Structure 1
């Protein structure tokens, strides 16, 4: 599958996660204060909770239900109770559009 436009970069709110479903894959997308965009799996690995409803702080996304924090760069959990990482997706910005291919995950 090729990368899919999910939104315009200006549609993302700084330091707030947004949920998108691309080809059936739920993805949490975050634009940080520097304008960098991250995309990680939207489902907490501790429980079936949408991470995009959580809290962004620096380069982490915190699950609102149990407090697990995930790195936006690596997908790795930084705090318990989660101990399994979430996938991280490559983000391309072209002409102000945010593109993601849910079939391409990054290994960090």
Structure 2
């Protein structure tokens, strides 16, 4: 008789909820860029810039759709700013000459 302790036997499991598996690292998987964004003070612009984070979870070929959407939204926001009435512009130097 031997006093040796039997070694545990490795066995496959079904990976059910009772077993926690460590996620495997996939170097080809999308990785967040974690680029910091400072608030602009304009809620519409900030929301568009926050949308850029959606690209962090997409493969590279999915970035174009997000970037185009953000660009379109920022362009629309700038156009809206130009359309808003504001204080009159100061007279140019050429208008002051008589």
TM-score by length of structure 1 reads: 0.22
Name which structure has the greater RCO, CA cutoff 8 Å, separation 6+: 1
Q: Greater strand share, 1 or 2?
A: 1
Of Structure 1 and Structure 2, the greater helix share is in: 2
- Structure 2 length as normaliser, TM-score? 0.24
> Max radius of gyration: which structure?
2
